[in-house]
Amino acid sequence: MVKGPSVGKAYWRSLDELADTPEFRVLVEKEFPGLAEELTSPQTRRAFLKVMGASLGVAGLAACRWPKETILPFAHRPEDRIPGVPQQYATAMELNGLNGAATGLLVTSYDGRPVKIEGNPLHPASRGAASAVAQASLLELYDPDRSRQVLRRDGGQAFASSWDEFAAFAGGHFAALRAKKGAGLAVLAEDSSSPSLARLRQRFAETFPEAMWVPWEAIPRDDGRLAAARLFGEPLRPLLRFDRADVVLCLDADPIFDHPAAVAHARDFAARRRGEGGTMSRVYSTGAVMSLTAAAADQRLAVASSRVAG
């Protein structure tokens, strides 16, 4: 709320409206053409009534039905495909590659458009549940800012291109790299435990023996494998079984929320915390942040993360 120059207090609904940015003016002109000046200037009573009348008129138009359109059927309808009947596909989503876990999912699709993601009840890592990250990943398909064409970058600028132009470029470019056995070629890829990607990486190494393949994660989880290497001599990935643990000690960790296998951990954790037909597990947590695991712990010690390692 700010104080206007002539009408006292003027109310605003967004920071762009308060700053009266060019982007906000463009938005106003698109939504209310011809009334942009009235919307972005201090309101008089008469102007306010005009704007409200225009708003109601626009809202009334928006409530009208869309023009009738004819939907054409499949020219060659796939087998067992009935238009309008949803189909489910089993898939998996991997987080953190070799240091993480893959979660089995079921994707519901309407006429080729995915609309819902849930856990696969037959997969041991999900058992019918899905994390918020898995469910939100569906929004990437419908992101209005998602690239709709092939882009070619040159001198720090992006130019519209096509797959045919890329194929023509790649043919000569990679032929020269193949002659040099891949010297000067580097691939920056996300970490993955996929067998298919492992075979692709092996073929890449055979074709370009001097090239580099660098796996990278924005938030790496190498601590578990490094600890296993020191304890067992191999960089193994730990598999946590909270359903078999009598005592759980979490050192600045939140295994039931931010771990790649948090869905399975949460189910196993809850099974031992009910105490049905057995003894409840005891949970101790220490760290700087009040995490989900810390909130469910029997005892929590708040200390700085720098002191946990010591």
List, for residues 150-186, the tens digit of each pLDDT value.
888 888 888 888 899 999 888 888 888 888 888 889 9
- For the chain, strand residue ranges (E) read 2-3, 9-10, 87-95, 101-110, 113-119, 151-154, 157-160, 186-190, 212-216, 247-251, 282-287, 299-302
* Spans of all domains in the chain: 2-62, 87-142, 160-216, 239-308
Between 152 and 12, the more confident residue is 152
Q: What is the pLDDT of residue 4?
A: 46
List CB contacts of 216: < 8 A, sequence separation 6 or more: 188, 189, 190, 191
Which of 83, 127, 134, 80 shows the shortest CA–CA distance to 107?
Answer: 134
Q: In what order do the strands lie in the sheet with 299-302?
A: 247-251, 282-287, 299-302
Statement: residue 123 has pLDDT above 60: yes
Range from 80-89, 218-227, 287-296 that averages highest in pLDDT = 287-296
What percent of the chain is modeled with pLDDT above 90? 11
Range from 33-42, 60-69, 94-103, 292-301 that averages highest in pLDDT = 292-301
Mean pLDDT, residues 262-279: 82
Between 272 and 12, the more confident residue is 272
Q: What is the pLDDT of residue 8?
A: 60
* pLDDT tier, 3 (very low <50, low <70, confident <90, very high otherwise): very low
List CB contacts of 108: < 8 A, sequence separation 6 or more: 86, 87, 88, 114, 115, 116, 117, 118
Mean pLDDT, residues 78-100: 80
DSSP characters for 36-72?
HHHHHSPPPHHHHHHHHHHHHHHHHHHTSPPPP-PPP
Q: What is the pLDDT of residue 108?
A: 92
Q: What is the pLDDT of residue 54?
A: 67
Question: Which has the minimum average pLDDT: 31-45, 198-212, 258-272, 276-290?
Answer: 31-45
Statement: residue 44 has pLDDT above 60: no
* Superfamily of the domain at 87-142: ADC-like domains (2.20.25.90)
